[in-house]
């Protein structure tokens, strides 16, 4: 008898996100430093005759469009497993946020099925299945902060001398009531005249310099060239970020294609006045969460 399994599916933040150009396949090449948080969803999985999904948040689609079920189908095909599983998703990561919630849930499903089915995939096949599910899935395969390249399928651990500067850092993550569609954000970036890509050599040089400098704080790598197109349309984002800069001395950024933003907080800094400013600007529908990089 196989026991049910509950897995944590962390949210992610893109601390550095350089979109470096458009590829022939329509996707974009990027160089990104991605950290995971100690905040996320929980996926409960138990063996069943067929695959099914229910979720604590009724707004999350429980049908075949959900990446958890897509991951389950892909796992079954790749391992030729004929079993099934009942998934229950405790959803905490907001959708349309650039926090990788759906991608993280999908990777948790692959891990859970490895345990429930007692079938396993070779690491290369697992990485391939994850990449097919979504560009942000492979980054969730290893623990800890990673460097991501290509369209997201090339993932390596961030060297320890830099990872140590991130681990345990306190952050505030906040998102307005609306989300931003990832395809829309990429299309806006590509349509810019000129498109505001960062040269890949420039992205790699900035990253290498930051990794090599033991004195460089986490704040020194913060960058996201998806911000200008998103900020041009969703002006509530830059208005609040500027306020957080001037009133609290924070260095806030957007994560991924948005709409979630984040800022590092010093260990001692009180969060309540920052939360108050966010709620005053974005209203009660805003999502606010304190977390630590893991
Ligand atoms: O891979 P994923 O399904 O998350 O991608 C969603 C959309 O985001 C793609 O269809 C594409 O428009 C855009 N995208 C991109 N380049 C990437 C990742 C995503 O253009 N590296």
User: pLDDT digit string (tens) for 58-97?
Assistant: 999 989 999 999 999 999 999 999 999 999 999 999 999 9
> Across residues 156-181, what is the average pLDDT?
97
3-state secondary structure of 89: strand
Question: 194 pLDDT exceeds 80?
Answer: no
> Across residues 12-21, what is the average pLDDT?
98
pLDDT at res. 143: 95
Rounded to an integer, what distance in angstroms lies between the CA atom of residue 258 and that of residue 99?
8
pLDDT at res. 29: 98
Confidence of residue 192 (pLDDT cuts 50, 70, 90): confident
pLDDT at res. 267: 83
Calculate what percentage of the chain has a pLDDT beyond 90.
94
Rounded to an integer, what distance in angstroms lies between the CA atom of residue 268 and that of residue 278?
19
pTM: 0.97
Confidence of residue 268 (pLDDT cuts 50, 70, 90): confident
Rounded to an integer, what distance in angstroms lies between the CA atom of residue 249 and that of residue 103?
32
DSSP letters of 15-65?
A: EEEEEEEE-TTS-EEEEEEEEEEEEEEEEEEEEESS-EEEESSTTS--STT
Q: Is 136 a catalytic residue?
A: yes
> Across residues 149-155, what is the average pLDDT?
98
> Across residues 232-259, what is the average pLDDT?
97
Q: How far is the CA of 254 from the centre of ligand 1 (A)?
A: 17
| pLDDT tens by residue, 25-39 | 999 999 999 999 999
> Across residues 220-235, what is the average pLDDT?
96
Confidence of residue 1 (pLDDT cuts 50, 70, 90): low
Pocket of ligand 1 (CB under 6 A): 27-28, 30, 134-136, 151-152, 182-183, 186
Q: Which among 135, 114, 133 is positioned nearest to 123, based on CA atoms?
A: 114
Nearest-atom number in ligand 1 for the CA of 152 is 21
pLDDT at res. 220: 97
At 165, which helix (H) or strand (E)? helix 160-166
Q: Which among 78, 55, 82, 83 is positioned nearest to 68, based on CA atoms?
A: 55
Confidence of residue 46 (pLDDT cuts 50, 70, 90): very high
Using only C-alpha atoms, the chain has a radius of gyration, in whole angstroms, of: 19
pLDDT at res. 54: 97
- Kindly report the protein residue whose alpha carbon is nearest to atom 8 of ligand 1: 183
At 160, which helix (H) or strand (E)? helix 160-166
> Across residues 190-210, what is the average pLDDT?
92
Nearest-atom number in ligand 1 for the CA of 28 is 16
- Token pair of 79, please? 């391992």
> Across residues 101-115, what is the average pLDDT?
97
Q: What is the DSSP letter of 197?
A: P
Q: Which among 152, 112, 118 is positioned nearest to 136, based on CA atoms?
A: 152
Rounded to an integer, what distance in angstroms lies between the CA atom of residue 99 and that of residue 12?
5
Contact 270, 263 (CB under 8 A): no
Instruction: Give the mutation target among 17, 102, 132, 186 for probing the ligand 1 site: most ligand atoms within 8 A of CB.
Output: 186
Most distant pair of Cα atoms in the chain: their distance: 60
Q: Is 12 a catalytic residue?
A: yes
Question: 195 pLDDT exceeds 80?
Answer: no
> Across residues 244-273, what is the average pLDDT?
96
């Amino acid at each position: 008898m196989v026991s049910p399994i509950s897995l944590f599916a962390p949210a992610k933040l893109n601390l550095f996100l350089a979109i470096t150009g458009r590829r022939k396949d329509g996707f974009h090449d990027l160089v990104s430093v991605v950290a995971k948080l100690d905040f996320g969803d929980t996926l409960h999985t138990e063996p069943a005759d067929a695959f099914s999904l229910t979720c604590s948040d009724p707004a999350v689609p429980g049908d075949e469009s959900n990446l958890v079920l897509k991951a389950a189908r892909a796992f079954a095909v790749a391992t030729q497993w004929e079993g099934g599983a009942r998934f229950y998703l405790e959803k905490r990561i907001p959708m349309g946020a650039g926090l990788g919630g759906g991608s993280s849930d999908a990777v948790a499903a692959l891990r859970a099925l490895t345990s429930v089915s007692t079938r396993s995939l070779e690491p290369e096949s697992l990485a391939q299945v994850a990449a097919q599910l979504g560009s942000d899935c492979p980054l969730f395969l290893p623990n800890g902060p990673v460097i991501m390249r290509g369209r997201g399928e090339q993932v390596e651990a961030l060297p320890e001398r830099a990872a140590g500067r991130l681990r345990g850092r306190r952050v505030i993550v906040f998102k307005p009531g609306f989300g931003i569609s990832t395809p829309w954000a990429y299309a806006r970036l590509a349509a810019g005249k000129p498109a505001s890509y960062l040269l890949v050599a420039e992205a790699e040089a900035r990253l290498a310099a930051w990794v090599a400098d033991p004195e460089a704080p986490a704040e020194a790598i913060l960058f996201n060239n998806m911000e200008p197109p998103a900020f041009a349309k969703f002006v509530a984002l830059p208005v609040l970020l500027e306020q957080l800069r001037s009133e609290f001395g924070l260095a806030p950024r957007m994560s991924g294609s948005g709409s979630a933003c984040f800022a590092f907080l010093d260990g001692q800094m009180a969060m309540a006045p920052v939360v108050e400013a966010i709620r005053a600007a974005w209203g009660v529908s805003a999502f606010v969460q304190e977390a630590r990089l893991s």
